[in-house]
């Protein structure tokens, strides 16, 4: 088996490569429902999030946190990992900061989708795409 090679593509912040749509069913930027249609759509260029067609009013960090979780579905992230990834290495804070932002995101996602961000007790959080029911 030949070695795998990855490429880093740099594009201006206000553009995205033509081969990388904002949301691809089953890929980063979209969480699919049972019928295959994205229920949570993240547009990294416009920095918008919509849930079932309703645009959410998110802060910068809420957007970054949700985008990171949706891009890595079903993966458990510790609070420390989230602080490092979303807030950055220089952030002075603790896991409670993550808890507060998760609570705000859940409220904004609404009753139907708030359960998509699941708490893994004594570890952290994971995003499980809604089933569309």
Domain ranges of the chain: 30-127
- Give the CATH number of domain 30-127: 1.10.10.10
For 22-69, what is each residue's pLDDT tens digit?
A: 443 444 444 444 444 457 788 888 889 988 888 999 999 999 999 999
Name the residue with higher pLDDT: 11 or 43. 43
Q: Is the pTM of this model over 0.75?
A: no
**Sign of the alpha-carbon torsion through 87, 70, 52, 106:** negative
- Whole-angstrom distance, CA of residue 64 vs CA of residue 90: 16
For 70-119, what is each residue's pLDDT tens digit?
A: 889 899 999 989 988 888 876 666 678 899 999 999 999 988 888 999 99
The SS3 of residue 125 is strand
Confidence class for position 16, pLDDT limits 50, 70, 90? low
Positions of E strands within 44-102? 48-51, 54-55, 77-78
């Amino acid at each position: 088996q030949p070695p795998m090679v990855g490429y880093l593509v740099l594009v201006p912040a206000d553009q995205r490569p033509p081969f990388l749509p904002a949301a691809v069913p089953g890929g980063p930027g979209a969480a699919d429902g049972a019928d295959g249609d994205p229920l949570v759509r993240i547009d990294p260029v416009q920095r918008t999030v919509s849930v079932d067609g309703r645009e959410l009013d998110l802060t910068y960090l809420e957007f970054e946190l949700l985008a990171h979780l949706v891009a890595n579905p079903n993966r458990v992230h510790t609070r420390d990992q989230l602080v490092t990834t979303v807030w950055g290495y220089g952030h002075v804070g603790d896991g409670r900061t993550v808890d507060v932002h998760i609570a705000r995101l859940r409220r904004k996602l609404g009753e139907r989708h708030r359960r998509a961000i699941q708490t893994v007790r004594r570890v952290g959080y994971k995003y499980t795409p809604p089933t569309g029911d």
